[in-house]
């Protein structure tokens, strides 16, 4: 039974388990433990997310255009990055994110970690972040300008437009990061819309990233659920990609389309006629881009449709590509004069340059055999839902599966019970021996 977490030691079998010997006080408690273990195992199996894979989409650990890139060997010029607003609840969240990322992957490669924060983070919190990151170098970068300083730089016309969009605001002095402001199709706090703008435009020119070529981005509420069996960074470099994304499509650029398509034409001299993956969903290679200039017959211009977007929660980007002059020009015009707008967000900002200039070098993780199973917003890899099910434990009891935190604490309980029974192989199949190091740091709300 050692290899099967669904089975447990016979309580009458004392040969291999000294804790269950007749002289042990554990004897009386063992049936209760086994009942609890059986219950937890049933819940775990019933709540298991069935990850969809295609047997024809096998991971290639050696094939590529760049030789000598080996999985789980540290590569030069790679950084992990994320951004938070900086309140305590978000720092707790990023500590959880970094610990799980470290144990799932970064303990093997030790890439630098950059955390951008809108608000200052105390030295005590920074110490805890570094402890979660183990031996990796951690750099915390606080925004150079406060909200008040950003607002003071807006023109009177921009300020009035912003005030009109925000709830219960009559003057600039009333605006706070928490104020929700209307935009085309959304109503989000300024803190959120600033983060979208930062990731669309400002991030590419940050000095702290200037020495890196590849950025593994994860949102701070993206949580690794297991040790990674494939290396997305090595795969990215080995295949000379500009973008390796976790999920596509995830929403569309569908508001202000005439203006956005005009920006695309003005910057790139081409029309974006459709962002499309190939028949195996592996790359953007079926994307249709056509030359454009002002003299082209309007009847011959392709239909400029709403633009499907790369999911922003996790991706690996080639920073040299995204920092190219033409792309920097695009970000500048894409954000334009508008501040704190959700309609021009980072998902569009990473999708459009890749689709316009390098669709054949824009690849999917999952559809190329990279199965990381990262939890984010009650989804796995942006695809499978986590919380749709409940498990019937007995005729009178049903248990909801829940999101990452609920599942994690149930698994920890099962892990500890198996550990007490010295059932180590089964234990480590419940939670990996390295991932369990984050036991006390999973505190972020669902």
Counted residue by residue, the chain has a size of 446
Classify residue 302 by its DSSP letter: P
Angle between helices 325-335 and 346-357 (to 10 degrees): 140
For residues 86 and 120, give the distance between their C-alpha atoms in angstroms, rounded to a whole number. 7
Question: What was the pLDDT predicted at 342?
Answer: 81
Give me the DSSP letters along 236-272: HHHTT-SEEES-S--SEE-SSHHHHHHHHHHHHSEEE
* Cα distance between the two ends of the chain: 34
- 428-437 LR contacts (CB < 8 Å, sep 24+): 429/5, 430/5, 430/44, 432/103, 432/104, 432/226, 432/227, 434/103, 434/104, 434/107, 434/227, 435/100, 435/103, 435/104, 435/224, 435/226, 435/227, 436/412, 437/99, 437/103
- Residue 268, pLDDT score: 97
Gap between the Cα atoms of 11 and 31, Å rounded: 7
pLDDT for residue 293:
80
Residue-wise pLDDT tens digits, 313-337: 999 999 999 999 999 999 999 998 7
CB 444 within 8 A of CB 405: yes
Cβ neighbourhood burial of 169 (10 Å; 0-12, 13-18, 19+)? middle
Q: Is 110 left (phi over 0), alpha (psi -120 to 50) or beta?
A: left
d(CA 395, CA 399): 11
Both tokens assigned to 53:
């894979």
CB of 223 closer than 8 Å to CB of 100: yes
Extract the residue ranges of the chain whose pLDDT is less than 70: 1-31, 34, 300
pLDDT score for 24 = 42
For 43, the 3-state DSSP assignment is helix
| pLDDT for residue 23 | 37
Residue 42 in tokens? 């049933």
Residue pair 91/125 in contact by the 8 Å Cβ criterion: yes
pLDDT at position 34: 66
In contact, 411 and 44? CB cutoff 8 Å: yes
Cis bond leading into 249, ω under 30°?
A: yes
Q: What is the pLDDT of residue 29?
A: 55
Strand partners, 142: 117
């Amino acid at each position: 039974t050692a290899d099967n977490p669904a089975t447990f030691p016979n309580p009458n079998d004392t040969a291999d388990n000294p804790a269950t010997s007749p002289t042990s006080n554990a004897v009386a408690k063992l049936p209760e433990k086994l009942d609890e273990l059986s219950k937890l195992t049933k819940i775990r199996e019933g709540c298991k997310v069935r990850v969809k894979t295609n047997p024809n989409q096998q991971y290639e650990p050696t094939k590529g255009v760049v030789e000598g890139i080996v999985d789980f060997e540290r590569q030069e010029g790679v950084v992990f990055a994320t951004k938070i607003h900086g309140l305590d609840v978000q720092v707790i969240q990023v500590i959880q994110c970094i610990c799980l990322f470290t144990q799932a992957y970064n303990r093997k490669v030790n890439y630098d970690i950059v955390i951008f924060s809108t608000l200052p983070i105390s030295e005590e919190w920074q110490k805890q972040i570094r402890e979660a990151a183990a031996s990796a170098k951690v750099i915390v970068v606080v925004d150079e300008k406060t909200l008040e300083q950003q607002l003071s730089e807006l023109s009177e016309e921009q300020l009035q437009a912003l005030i009109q969009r925000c709830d219960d605001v009559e003057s600039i002095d009333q605006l706070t990061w928490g104020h929700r402001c209307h935009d085309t199709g959304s109503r989000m706090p300024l803190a959120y819309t600033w983060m979208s703008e930062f990731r669309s435009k400002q991030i590419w020119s940050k000095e702290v990233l200037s020495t890196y070529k590849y950025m593994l981005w994860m949102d701070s509420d993206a949580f690794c659920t297991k040790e990674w069996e494939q290396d997305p960074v090595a795969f990215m470099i080995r295949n000379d990609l500009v973008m390796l994304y976790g999920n596509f499509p995830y929403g569309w650029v569908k508001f202000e389309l005439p203006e956005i398509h005009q920006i695309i034409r003005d910057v790139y001299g081409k029309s974006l006629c459709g962002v499309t993956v190939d028949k195996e969903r592996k790359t953007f290679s079926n994307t249709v881009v056509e030359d454009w200039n002002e003299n082209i017959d309007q009847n011959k211009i392709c239909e400029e449709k709403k633009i499907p977007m790369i999911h922003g929660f996790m991706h690996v980007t080639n920073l040299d590509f995204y920092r190219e002059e033409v792309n920097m020009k695009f970000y500048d015009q894409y954000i334009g004069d508008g501040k704190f707008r959700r309609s021009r967000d980072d998902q569009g900002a990473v999708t459009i340059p890749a689709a316009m200039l390098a669709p054949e070098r824009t690849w999917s993780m999952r559809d190329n055999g990279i199965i990381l199973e990262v939890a984010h917003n009650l989804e796995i890899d942006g695809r499978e839902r986590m919380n749709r099910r409940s498990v019937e434990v007995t005729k009178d009891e049903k248990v909801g599966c829940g999101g990452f935190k609920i599942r994690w604490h149930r698994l920890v309980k099962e892990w500890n019970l198996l550990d007490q029974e010295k059932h180590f192989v089964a234990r480590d199949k419940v939670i990996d021996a390295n991932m369990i190091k984050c036991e006390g740091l999973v505190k972020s709300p669902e």
